[in-house]
A and B are shown apart, each in its own frame.
Chain A
Amino acid sequence: EVQILETGGGLVKPGGSLRLSCATSGFNFNDYFMNWVRQAPGKGLEWVAQIRNKNYNYATYYAESLEGRVTISRDDSKSSVYLQVSSLRAEDTAIYYCTSGSSFAYWGQGTLVTVSS
């Protein structure tokens, strides 16, 4: 059974930083692209970042709206992916989901990031 668990969310002051983690099991993590997607309260879904697998040299891609403030990384030995977000703003308040594969087959339950003073 595929399991995806995001952690690391919480309350952060504007201008602060956060590192989100996503631990996975139940599939061959090394073979998969991994992604972060976010959803602001009451809003739709927004793709944030993707990291490809070793065969694609771990290439990374970012949504234009966030580029420069986010970094996605992975540790294949831990079947985990990470998202570092900096210079946080109120509009970054959202549930951040980790999803597997090129086309987002499986999702975790998400971790809530709240940016507020």
Chain B
Amino acid sequence: DIQMTQSPSFLSASVGDRVTINCKASQNINKYLNWYQQKLGEAPKRLIYNTNNLQTGIPSRFSGSGSGTDYTLTISSLQPEDFATYFCLQHNSFRTFGGGTKLELK
């Protein structure tokens, strides 16, 4: 099974900051990597699919990059509504989620 290691687990930042969240796969996942945002009490929402494709309706301040085993979600300028938990998902072989990153207001 493919393991996904997401870092950091917690991140404190301010409005306007640029932040990055990382996911490392235990083997090559061929860019089959999605990013989700989840707010308290809500279902996850897909932000990015297949590494760098922005889901319709998601602001362009969200972007993804990576290849092989290493992937990154970048939020270029944090907005108040971005404070949430973020998960990655590999869908190259079965499905495995990263452990999540809780993004908090500093």
Chain A interface residues (CB < 8 Å from chain B): 35, 37, 44-47, 50, 61, 63-64, 97, 102-110
Contact = CB atoms under 8 A, between A and B. Distances in A.
Contacts of B100: 44-45
The dominant DSSP class at the A interface is loop
Contact-size category for B = 20 to 34
Nearest to A109: B43
Contacts of A61: 94
Contact of B32 (A46, A103, A109): A103
A105 B97 contact: no
Nearest to B100: A44
Contacts of B32: 103
Contacts of A103: 32, 34, 46, 49-50, 89, 91
A108 B87 contact: no
A104 B95 contact: yes
B45 A47 contact: no
